[in-house]
């Protein structure tokens, strides 16, 4: 059986992600969003934008966070994998 590629294994390990969504989320949602740090800003004359930053243990955890955001009807602006975690 062949070994998974290095890229594939990287998604099975913890990594730090930043996710931006249109809309406001209170900091009390952190536990339901993988423990990510939540920062909401309201640009002058614009709609609120919330940024989530934190380490998620694997791609399944990322999918869970994205599913929760979808259920909250918050449009995802961007998702970035910043670095491998611990």
CATH no., domain 6-84: 3.30.70
- Report pLDDT digits (tens) over 67-82: 999 999 999 999 999 9
Per-residue pLDDT at 86: 58
pTM (two decimals): 0.82
8 Å CB contact between 23 and 50: yes
Report the distance separating Cα 78 and Cα 49, nearest Å. 11
- Report pLDDT digits (tens) over 34-76: 999 999 999 898 899 999 999 999 999 999 999 999 999 999 9
Provide the residue ranges of all domains of the chain, joining segments of one domain with +.
6-84
8 Å CB contact between 84 and 17: no
Handedness of CA 64, 12, 57, 75 (dihedral sign): negative
For residue 7, pLDDT over 60 is answered with no
């Amino acid at each position: 059986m062949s070994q998974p590629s290095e890229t594939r294994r990287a998604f099975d390990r913890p990594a730090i992600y930043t996710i931006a969504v249109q809309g406001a989320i209170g900091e009390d949602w952190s536990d339901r969003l993988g423990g990510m740090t939540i920062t909401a800003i309201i640009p002058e004359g614009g709609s609120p934008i919330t940024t989530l930053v934190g380490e998620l243990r694997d791609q399944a955890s990322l999918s869970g966070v994205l599913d929760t955001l979808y259920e909250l009807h918050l449009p995802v602006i961007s998702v970035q994998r910043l670095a491998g975690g611990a």
